[in-house]
Amino acid sequence: MTRCRALGGLAFLIAALLHPAASRADELEVDLALVLAVDVSRSMDNEEQVLQREGYVEAFRSEVVHNAIRNGMVGRIAVTYMEWSGPGQQAVVMPWTVIDDASGSRAFADRLGKAPIGRIFSTSISGAIDFGVALFRQSNVTALRRVIDVSGDGPNNTGRIVTLARDEAIAQGIVINGLPFMVKQPTGFGDVENLDHYYEDCVIGGPGAFSIPIRDKTQIGEATRNKIVREIADLGPEPRIVPAQGRPAANCLMGEQQRRMQYGP
């Protein structure tokens, strides 16, 4: 009998290791665990920072977002809001919050709206992705889908290579979406043309991953709301016509190369 119990215990341990969800029966199930990873590097000016924050606040106050949450298979999501800049420069502004109705969504928006906005320096998208992956381990929910939503106005220029962070996250079943800010003309270090192409080729990934570029400050609110709705409802990218002749692939090391030219090896 003791031998049987020992074998049974071993079988349970193996099952728990192979199927971690089985050992997390006490965790709340949600349709989506969403990390909002928001760029606060100094290349984002004060007006952009304020408009970016307001875009997220208004999105969670929006009835269309409330409906998207309500219509999910489970009918609730978990969301956290973090600000990022260089390697090791990430800060959680809003901890993991479960939202299952309009009042909960508005309460999240109200708290976010009152939180101060950080201002840091360099740009490490890879650091933001790695930090987002770690945040999922602290969510205390079982999510049908996990998404990191990266917003920013420039390429990765410090920390490890962004494609390495992206690929490792995707291998864990995480989807990465993007919100590239392109409201200013490139003028120097940290600025690139076709940031939307860089995000498409070097940042986003996973099943149904998409990126919504913002080319004018007046588009920030609508683009942010549409992005969150698509993520909650798992709608994927907007259908679009692909040109017959594809564009050249973006250089995923352009930010690092810019930094070396500016500051040396």
Is a pLDDT exceeding 50 seen at residue 23? no
Task: Give the per-residue pLDDT at 33.
Answer: 98
Residue 63 CB coordination number (10 Å): 9
Contact 69, 108 (CB under 8 A): no
- What is the arithmetic mean of pLDDT over 58-87? 96
* 199 three-state secondary structure: helix
**Percentage of the chain exceeding pLDDT 90:** 61
pTM for the predicted model, two decimal places = 0.85
Going from N- to C-terminal start, the domains of the chain cover 26-238+250-263
Distance CA 175, CA 190 (A): 25
- What is the arithmetic mean of pLDDT over 164-176? 98
Question: What rounded mean pLDDT belongs to the chain?
Answer: 85
Closest-CA residue to 170 (of 203, 142, 137, 193): 203
Contact 113, 57 (CB under 8 A): yes
Is a pLDDT exceeding 80 seen at residue 112? yes
Picking from 53-57, 138-142, 255-259, which range would have the lowest pLDDT averaged per residue? 255-259
- What is the arithmetic mean of pLDDT over 171-181? 96
Query: Burial, 245: exposed, middle or buried (Cβ in 10 Å; 0-12, 13-18, 19+)?
Result: exposed
Distances (CA, A) of 159 to 142, 181, 197, 249, 253: 30, 21, 21, 22, 12
Task: Give the per-residue pLDDT at 186.
Answer: 61
Q: Are strands 90-99 and 174-180 parallel, antiparallel or unpaired?
A: unpaired
- What is the arithmetic mean of pLDDT over 227-242? 83
Task: Give the per-residue pLDDT at 265.
Answer: 63
Task: Give the per-residue pLDDT at 57.
Answer: 97
Task: Give the per-residue pLDDT at 119.
Answer: 66
- What is the arithmetic mean of pLDDT over 163-187? 91
Distances (CA, A) of 196 to 20, 28, 49, 122, 211: 36, 36, 19, 19, 7
For the domain made up of 26-238+250-263, the CATH class stated in words is alpha beta
Is a pLDDT exceeding 90 seen at residue 231? yes
* 118 three-state secondary structure: coil
Residue 73 CB coordination number (10 Å): 10
